[in-house]
Amino acid sequence: MRKRRWFGMALAAAALWAIVMEPAAWAKILGVQGTSFQLVAKQDRITLGDGDSVLMWGFALGNGRMQYPGPTLIVNQGDTITVNLSNALPATAGNVSILFPGHDVAASGGVAGALTREAPPDGTTTVTYTFTASRPGTYVYHSGTRPDLQVEMGLLGVIVVRPTSPTPNSACPPVPDGHNAGPDPSLCVGTKFGYDHEDTAYDREFLIVMTDMDPRVHRLVEFGRMDEIDTTNFFQTVWFANGRNFPDTIANAQVPWLPTQPYNAIFLMHPGERLLVRLVTLGRDPHPLHFHGNHIRVIARDGRLLSSAPGNGPDLSFERYTVAVNPGQTVDGLYRWTGALMGWDIYGHAPGDDPAPYEFLGDHGANFPVILPSRDDVVFGQLYSGSPFLGGEGSLPPEHAGLNVGGGFFYMWHSHTEKELANNNIFPGGLITFLGVVPWDVPLEAE
């Protein structure tokens, strides 16, 4: 296997929505940790994948800008969590509140609403929500005031509760049967746990918040035609992963040109690593997320392990290649990829070569099954490295964007409701993102 160098920054930064090989970008759940959070409902704009600019209402962290989705709150099991909400939306938006399904919440301040206490749009009144993050898992929060409109407008977010046990450790992923040993232990990011059970171990975790939008509603809000809004007529034409449409989903996180959409949705891993994928849907419809590369093992729903009895771990887990999450629900899954059973050596090894970490030994040295056409006879996709092999670097045509400098394999993760792969009817767009598998000598950020 050839050596790879780490150079991509300059090239990628030049591209509008390039994958930037910058470690901060992609290998973990971005969010805010703590026990006390100041959320302010604000009005701002986001950019759709087709370039449209849409008025939104969303949650901001204190003095920050509103973001879509709202800040991901990362907390520890057992902590008492306080969320202070104030409402800086225009008066026409009315009150705002927050619901925390799955948690037993005490609310104080503000005024009483149908579902919880609400903050009037005066910018100062604070509603305080307090709850104990008693169980680990993935949870949602969203507006409890006119949710049919305010969730559509963007007042939503996610809570991740980390377990108190088992204790994370530095172990590399275990070696599956028939695979080569792992890499030098210093390269492993360490083992973490999604839930309070050993069978929820993972190396990297990702969050996908799936939402939908009917832009007509946002326009009526912008034009002050509030009395024309009828949420029973919803008809969404734009779909989001982590608040962005493809191709923005695979741009870097926190890029300056998407100031209110800080989270991206490109996920990178090394072969053999275990991913904890946290799936959340908020909005109107479930969006069946389809996984390429491998099936995913569903281990939890609504922050509860699929377990036959307490302590048994996710023994009722099951594999799926498409997972639909109902609006308001959460689903967690474990995903792993080693390239096993492809039928050819994905590293392009000769039979006598040393196998790569976690390489499936059954295919070691097996020939690539076809003869590749010459470079000038094919059209290269933007994420093709120029080589069919993992970590390979072939020559690329002069006009090629060269986005895949690590020689990774890219697997599309997308809504299986195929009409959702569009931004207002423009394909490709919408609920598309990618998993990138890169060889172990391409460094990824430690979790």
Partner 1 sequence: MRSRTLSVLLKKVCLALGFLLVWAAGAAAVEYNLTAKVGSMSLPDGQTVPIWGFALGDGPVTVPGPRLVVPPGEGLTVHLTNLLGVPVSLVIPGQKLPDNNTGPVWTDWPNETTSWSGSRPAGNYTARVRSFVHEVAPGGTGTYTWNNFKEGAFLYQSGTNPAAQVQMGLYGAVVKNFDVDQAYSDSETGFDKEILLVYSSLDPVMNRAIASGQFGPGKTVPNTRDYAAKYFLINGKAWPDPAQERINGCTEILAGEDVLLRFLNAGYQTFVPVFLGPYLTLRAEDGNIYPFPKEQYSLELAAGRSVDAWWSPSSEGSFTLYDGRGHLTNAGAPTPGGLIARLQVGQLPADSQAPVVTGLSASPNPTAGATNMALTGTATDVATGCSNIQAAEYWIGSTDPGAGSGTPMSPADGTFDSAEEGIQATVDVSGLSNGVHTVWVRAMDATGWGSASSLQLQVGPPETVAIYKTRYRRLSKTLKVFARSTAAPGSVTLTAVGFGDLAYRSTKNDYFGKFKPVASKPPTVTVVSTGGGSDTKPVPYP
Chain residues binding partner 1 by CB under 8 A are 94, 99, 101-105, 113-116, 144, 146-149, 151-152, 226-227, 229-234, 283-285, 301-304, 306, 308, 316, 326-329
Q: Would you call the peptide bond into 166 cis, given omega within 30 degrees of 0 as the criterion?
A: yes
Residue number, 78 or 185, with CB nearest to partner 1: 78
Residue number, 217 or 275, with CB nearest to partner 1: 217
Coil/strand/helix, residue 249: helix
At its nearest, how many Å lie between partner 1 and the CB of residue 307? 8
At its nearest, how many Å lie between partner 1 and the CB of residue 82? 17
Residue 250 vs residues 205, 256, 257, 265, 351: alpha-carbon distances, Å? 16, 15, 14, 6, 36
Backbone φ, ψ for residue 36 (5° rounding): -130, 130
Cα(335)–Cα(321) distance, rounded to whole angstroms?
10
Residue number, 152 or 345, with CB nearest to partner 1: 152
Helix H or strand E encompassing 149: helix 147-153
At its nearest, how many Å lie between partner 1 and the CB of residue 303? 8
At its nearest, how many Å lie between partner 1 and the CB of residue 400? 44
Coil/strand/helix, residue 65: coil
Residue number, 79 or 315, with CB nearest to partner 1: 315
At its nearest, how many Å lie between partner 1 and the CB of residue 285? 7
Residue number, 102 or 407, with CB nearest to partner 1: 102
- Specify whether the CB–CB gap between 402 and 217 falls below 8 A: no
Coil/strand/helix, residue 336: strand
Residue number, 18 or 238, with CB nearest to partner 1: 238
- Specify whether the CB–CB gap between 211 and 58 falls below 8 A: no
- Specify whether the CB–CB gap between 312 and 337 falls below 8 A: no
User: Which tokens sit at 179?
Assistant: 């695979």
At its nearest, how many Å lie between partner 1 and the CB of residue 117? 13
Residue number, 305 or 334, with CB nearest to partner 1: 305
Cα(364)–Cα(181) distance, rounded to whole angstroms?
13
Residue 439, judged by CB atoms within 10 A of its CB (0-12, 13-18, 19+), counts as buried
At its nearest, how many Å lie between partner 1 and the CB of residue 260? 22
At its nearest, how many Å lie between partner 1 and the CB of residue 37? 19
Cα(158)–Cα(136) distance, rounded to whole angstroms?
13
Residue 353, judged by CB atoms within 10 A of its CB (0-12, 13-18, 19+), counts as middle
Residue number, 124 or 232, with CB nearest to partner 1: 232
At its nearest, how many Å lie between partner 1 and the CB of residue 302? 4
Residue number, 309 or 379, with CB nearest to partner 1: 309
> Cα Rg for the chain, rounded, in angstroms?
23
* CA distance from start to end of the chain: 27
List of E strands, 65-220: 66-67, 73-76, 80-87, 106-108, 111-112, 117-118, 127-132, 137-142, 156-162, 192-193, 201-202, 204-213
At its nearest, how many Å lie between partner 1 and the CB of residue 213? 13
Cα(274)–Cα(433) distance, rounded to whole angstroms?
19
Residue number, 313 or 391, with CB nearest to partner 1: 313
- SS3 percent helix, strand, coil of the chain, rounded to 5, is 10, 30, 55
